Chain A
Amino acid sequence: MTAPAPLPDPTAPDQPSAAGLAGVPLGWPADSGDLPRRFPGREALVQELAARFPEASGGASPIRGGSKPALAALEALDPVRYAASRNHLDGAVSGLSPYIRHGVVSLAQVRDLVQQRMTAGPEPVSEKLLQELAWRDYWQRLWLRLGDGLWENLEPLKTGHPEAAYAPGLPGDIDEGRTGLACIDAFARELVERGWLHNHARMWLAAYVVHWRRVRWQAGARWFLRHLLDGDPASNNLSWQWVASSFSAKPYVFNRANLERFGAGRHCPGCPAAAACPFEASYEALQAQLFPTPQGEAN
């Protein structure tokens, strides 16, 4: 694989913080009770919203809303680099999910651009990116069909554990990022502070919550939905169900070798738990340890 070029940063501030932040003008009079559309800067916007939404925790993500960062991410799409590197934490993924989820850009718009780039050169190009966009469409169609049914197991769990073996709530050390596992704590922090995680990090974190800590997937799904800028009950809950095995043939698990291979070398060096890593084992050993029912081949 060629060295990945630096990712475009859709989060780069595009306004000097000193400049005012004003919405486009409205062609009708304001009414008392309308929320403001003009702020001295982003900091003031965040303060105002913190006061108006006292139940909302956190601050501002470095990822900004609006079509400017969305179009920059769209412009940077590269189906070839995407297919080669998408499973790596530093791979050429698009970062488009918050914008797609909220219709800042439509899935059809992204599709057109991907198709155009797939046919731009002389070589056939992987359809992987097109297929990942299709996953979103697929989950949305399921949501239309299932409604709130996507909060319930679509199929029985294949782990061999009864539903009652899973804790109903998320243990505090997980969402506070103090499990002592460098990878898991870093993912939890990124989820809460940035509101976005790479797909592989979502899979690892979900597998840890459901299989290592034996927590109901719904508790993890609720946690993600509160924080993910792209948080969407369809993509989110159904992916949790896929990890848990209520919407797949077997539970998803990972091991340390997998995390080190795709994790951009960020987590294991210096991890306080490195000597007693709960992920350090073969898939066979992990499955025997985590599940009473024998499982098929993982990954």
Chain B
Amino acid sequence: MERPVLWIHAEALGPANPALQAHPGRPALFVFEPGLLAGDAGPISLQRIVFLYECLLELPVTIRQGDGAEEVLAFAARHRADGVVTSAWVDPQLGEIAAGVAAALPLQVLEPEPFVVLPQPVDLRRFSRYWKLAGPRLRPDRAGTDTFS
């Protein structure tokens, strides 16, 4: 990709956003979708919107309201982009937007630094099982013998 635009979504509103880090200065966009964040539970409160907006003002991003994929594609067209770069998401709603974008333009998804890398498959039936795997990989050496918690 020579001339990408960046799609910034609500799981990565910080300066460490991997798309912003990889392509400093490239045009970037954030879209407020009607179902943003709460989906069927929405609409989210003004408190939440103000909070997000204050995060966004700190980042070099154009802010728009509308349908996520449509807005990203229109933004890409305005900037004659040959692709879109974003960061990985967990929310399946964001996955749907990403699929809409990827159907029309190359989409590159950058992974943020993981919290802990675990051998697959991870047993997630209870936190205790997860912690049995994650704990030893997270404890700094010196605290390995912790007995206080």
Contacts and interface: CB of A to CB of B under 8 A. Distances in A.
Interface string B136-147: 001111110111
A227 B11 contact: no
Nearest to B14: A104
Given A21-B57, A24-B58, A102-B10, A233 B45 contact: no
Contacts of B60: 24-27
B116 interface: yes
Given A60-B47, A229-B51, A119 B115 contact: no
Interface string A111-154: 10001101100001111101101111110111111011000000
A138 B130 contact: yes
Given A45-B50, A58-B47, 11 more contacts: A24-B60, A67-B58, A103-B112, A111-B116, A131-B149, A133-B115, A138-B131, A141-B130, A145-B124, A222-B41, A223-B41
B2 interface: no
Interface string A30-57: 1101110100000001100110110111
5 contacts: A49-B53, A108-B113, A118-B140, A137-B116, A142-B124
Contacts of B17: 103
Nearest to A52: B65
B25 interface: yes
A24 B37 contact: no
**Residue from B44, B49, B53, B61 whose CB has the most chain A CB atoms within 10 Å:** B53
A150 to B, nearest CB: 10
Interface of A: 21-28, 30-31, 33-35, 37, 45-46, 49-50, 52-53, 55-61, 63-67, 70, 83, 98-99, 101-109, 111, 115-116, 118-119, 124-128, 130-131, 133-138, 140-145, 147-148, 192-195, 221-223, 225-229, 231, 233-234
A108 B47 contact: no
A45 B45 contact: no
A176 to B, nearest CB: 14
Q: Which 7 A-B pairs have the closest CB atoms?
A: A65-B54, A222-B41, A23-B57, A103-B12, A65-B55, A35-B63, A195-B47
B54 A64 contact: yes
A131 B134 CA distance: 9
Contact of A119 (B38, B90, B141): B141
B71 to A, nearest CB: 9
Given A56-B45, A127-B149, A144-B90, A67 B14 contact: yes
Interface of B: 10-17, 25, 27, 32, 37-65, 78-79, 87, 90-92, 112-116, 122, 124, 127, 130-131, 134-135, 138-143, 145-149
Nearest to A57: B45
A37 B63 CA distance: 8
A233 B115 contact: no
B22 to A, nearest CB: 15
Contacts of B44: 56, 225-227, 231
Contact of B37 (A125, A133, A225): A225
B3 to A, nearest CB: 12
Contact of B143 (A26, A33, A127): A127
A103 B11 contact: yes
A45 B146 CA distance: 47
A31 B149 CA distance: 54
Nearest to A21: B57
B54 to A, nearest CB: 3
